[in-house]
Amino acid sequence: MLITIPQVLSADEVRQFREHLDAAQWLDGLATAGSVARNVKRNQQLDDTQEPAMGLGRYILQVLAQHPTFISAALPDKIYPPKFNRYSESETYGAHVDGALMQLPSSGQTIRTDLSATLFLAEPDEYEGGELSIQTQYGAHSVKLAAGDMVLYPSTSLHQVTPVRSGARVAAFFWIQSLVRDSCRRETLYELDSSVQALTSELGAAHPEVVNLSGVYHNLIRQWASPS
């Protein structure tokens, strides 16, 4: 399931991010590429152990910790701190699947990558090409969102960033270990929570059917969640 979350960052927040990112020193993305990725990865990244990447990454995590759609869709247990990449003309990242296990830089603790996230930080008209193409059971899905918008998708998905023909594509990206490992169960919980929220707005939180459905939601989480 692909979930688009609009306006994770406001226009003003994006502007402030870009002031830092446009002045930053970008490094060859091959420095962080694994043996397979080295054959298909052509981009630039920030050193995520230094500023401004660390501060901007913390800010994104603070925003997401209070974002109801993100919490409902991801049910996050652990989040790998955001990284930042840039694709300029002719740069691309060919088809690949993200690594299944990663070590958190702060603690060395291993997390399982259940969900991948891309937060767009350049407007679509700032660059040509550079779509995030995600393979789904219904075929390839092309994603190119407004600056400040984010897409969540299963880390098991084959995906790529198509070649940038002009301009520069700037984004943050990161991974989530969910409290609910199974993607079908996560999708069911997200749809159920969305229905609960819609009925709450229409009928009120105290309505018996809203209370009952909310109870079903929490009881399913009780059965399916596996906190680390």
Q: Any residues with CB less than 8 A from the CB of 188 and at least 6 apart, and which?
A: 220
Single pTM value for the model:
0.95
* 98 marked as binding residue: yes
Residue 30: the pLDDT is: 82
Residue 83: the pLDDT is: 97
Residue 64: the pLDDT is: 98
Residue 37: the pLDDT is: 65
* 86 marked as binding residue: no
Q: How far, in Å, are 80, 81, 82, 103, 206 from residue 107 at the CA level? A: 11, 12, 15, 8, 43
Set out the domains of the chain in order of their start, with CATH numbers.
3-178 (2.60.120.620), 183-224 (4.10.860)
Closest CA to 71 of 180, 146, 155: 180
* CA dist., res. 103 & res. 139, Å (int): 31
* pLDDT tens, residue by residue, 60-83: 999 999 999 999 999 999 999 999
* pLDDT tens, residue by residue, 164-215: 999 999 999 999 999 999 999 999 999 999 999 999 999 999 999 999 999 9
* 218 marked as binding residue: no
Residue 33: the pLDDT is: 61
* 149 marked as binding residue: no
Which residue is it, tokens 């401004």?
52
Please name the amino acid found at residue 221. Answer: I
Residue 38: the pLDDT is: 73
